[in-house]
């Protein structure tokens, strides 16, 4: 699988989203990662549907929507209609995970599941038929700019093995939280193919260089 770079707009300037999106697209990003937080599932509140509808008008690459919200089932249609290409829910927020994933696919979208750092990879064992992406949190979700938790690294290789054994080689393994050129090396070596990065891209004076540094790190 070729490497996918998904800048997280959580670290972008929200007063200039058009320029912020254009900037990373020009720099060669593959997806735009959009963090939705509800103040319940995570302590923070970020952005929601009206902003995603606007992003959808601007962005030319797929919107990778990460729902850090309780009861995501209630809003799946809305996020699909707003323009999400990938809709990722947290397994910790889903009582009937298989039903949720099947619903996302029925809406014509790619279905993702995110795992908090403390959630074991086995949580996905029985939903592989309904899965397009797993988003492994390498920080506790809620804020940008946190420190990468190295204890999640074996989870990446375990999931890659689980997917290969089940003949599901196309399921993306994405890692989110504290990704920079050092940690990108570690997670891609373990089997990740999608890098979500907020502060290391938007916090850099040279976004193009930041993205190409992530690509270079992934090859090492
Ligand atoms: C955290 C979000 C991340 C966040 C990552 O809860 O899910 O997508 O933007 O930010 P960095 O890359 O700064 O850790
Ligand atoms: Zn995220």
pTM over 0.95, yes/no: yes
The pLDDT tens digits for 17-66 are 999 999 999 999 999 999 999 999 999 999 999 999 999 999 999 999 99
Q: Could you tell me whether strands 86-90 and 32-37 are parallel, antiparallel, or unpaired per DSSP bridges?
A: unpaired
- Mean per-residue pLDDT of the chain: 98
Ramachandran quadrant class, 142 (left: phi over 0; alpha: psi -120 to 50; beta: rest)? left
Instruction: Tell me which residue has its CA closest to atom 4 in ligand 1.
Output: 144
The pLDDT tens digits for 124-166 are 999 999 999 999 999 999 999 999 999 999 999 999 999 999 9
Give the separation between CA 171 and CA 125, rounded to whole angstroms. 13
At residue 1, the pLDDT reads: 87
Say whether 73 is catalytic: no
Closest ligand 1 atom to Cα of 199:
13
Q: Does 23 contact ligand 1 (Cβ within 6 A)?
A: no
Look at residue 122 and tell me whether its pLDDT is greater than 90. Answer: yes
Identify which ligand lies nearest to the alpha carbon of 66. Answer: 2
Look at residue 121 and tell me whether its pLDDT is greater than 90. Answer: yes
Closest ligand 1 atom to Cα of 42:
6
Say whether 30 is catalytic: no
Q: Does 198 contact ligand 1 (Cβ within 6 A)?
A: yes
Give the separation between CA 170 and CA 7, rounded to whole angstroms. 21
């Amino acid at each position: 699988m070729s490497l996918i770079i998904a800048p997280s707009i959580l670290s972008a300037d929200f007063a200039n989203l058009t320029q912020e999106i254009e900037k990373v697209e020009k720099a060669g990003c593959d997806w735009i990662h959009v963090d939705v937080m509800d103040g319940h599932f995570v302590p923070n509140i970020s952005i929601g549907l009206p902003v995603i509808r606007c992003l959808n008008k601007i962005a030319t690459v797929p919107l990778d929507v990460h729902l850090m919200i309780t009861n995501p089932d209630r809003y799946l249609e809305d996020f699909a209609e707003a323009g999400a290409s990938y809709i990722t829910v947290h397994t910790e927020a889903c009582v009937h995970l298989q039903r949720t994933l099947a619903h996302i696919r029925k809406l014509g979208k790619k279905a993702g599941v995110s795992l908090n750092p403390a959630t074991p990879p086995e949580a996905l064992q029985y939903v592989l038929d309904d899965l397009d992406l797993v988003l492994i949190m390498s920080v506790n979700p809620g804020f940008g700019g946190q420190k990468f938790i190295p204890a999640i690294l074996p989870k990446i290789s375990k999931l890659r093995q689980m997917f290969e054994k089940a003949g599901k080689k196309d399921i993306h393994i994405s890692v989110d939280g504290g990704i920079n050129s050092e940690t990108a090396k570690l997670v891609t070596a373990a089997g990740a193919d999608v890098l979500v990065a907020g502060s290391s891209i938007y916090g850099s004076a040279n976004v193009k260089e930041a993205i190409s540094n992530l690509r270079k790190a992934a090859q090492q």
